[in-house]
Structure 1
């Protein structure tokens, strides 16, 4: 299994072709039980990239990036959160002009199933 990147800024390919970089993983943040939040920076969101396109990229990031890394992180989570932000934002910080998209998935084998929490 792949290890987590050593540093933020690792480029990650997505179906839309937009520029996406790994930012961080947060484990056990309040609200979802055992969950891993994979956070990515996607500057093209600020240029008007629509949610439907970002949604496909987030599912891809869950299945091809996050799921293979889960065995290296510890206990299996009940949920995986994928977030895209147009800039680096401290987790939990409110930045009204930032563009951020989030999706929550349940890992089921090698598949991420959308979860309406």
Structure 2
């Protein structure tokens, strides 16, 4: 069974009053590279005991994309500082945490060959994310 937590990023056609923020701004996450990253959604797969945290990172696409080596520290940071704290209230941690970055929103499981996406897997161990080779 898979459950989805979060939201998709939708274009807003209405004006935002001063002092208000959009859902995208509220979900902005700081990363070491400084590129703009926003939380997109979280997916739990009970069959594999895997929690996936998906983030929108437009700068991994476009004319001058950031390559995997440049964003790898960001992915470790997202696991340690974003994903792990959101799992703290559970009786049992997932066996695997997958962090993914996508240049544009992509429905989970849909092939999107024209949209850059990066994935990394980690095991939660001792309060940190330990990198796991896919």
| TM-score bracket relative to the smaller structure | 0.7 to 0.9
Task: Tell which has more relative contact order, 1 or 2 (C-alpha 8 A, sep 6+).
Answer: 1
Distance 2:75 2:110 in 1: 21
Look up the match of 2:76. 59
- Equivalent residue, structure 1, for 2:59: 44
Q: Count the aligned residue pairs.
A: 111
2:79 aligned with 1:71, yes or no?
Answer: no
How many angstroms does 1:111 deviate by? 1.1
Q: Secondary structure at the match of 2:52?
A: strand
Moved over 4 A (4+): 5-8
Instruction: Report whether the alignment pairs 1:109 with 2:126.
Output: yes
TM-aligned CA deviation for residue 75 of structure 1: 3.1
SS of the equivalent of 1:53 reads helix
Q: TM-score, normalised by structure 2?
A: 0.76
Partners of 1:12 and 1:75 lie apart in 2 by: 25
Q: After the TM superposition, which of the residue ranges 66-75 and 10-19 deviates more from structure 2?
A: 66-75
Rg (Cα) greater in structure: 2
Q: Distance in 2 between matches of 1:104 and 1:29?
A: 16
Alpha-carbon offset, residue 72 of structure 1: 3.8
Q: Which residue of 1 aligns with 2:103?
A: 86
- Structure 1 residue aligned with 2:17: none
User: Gapped runs of 5+ residues in structure 2?
Assistant: 9-23
* CA shift digits 1:80-101 (9 cap, x unpaired): 0000000100000011100000
Normalising by the residue count of structure 1, what TM-score does the alignment of the two structures yield?
A: 0.87
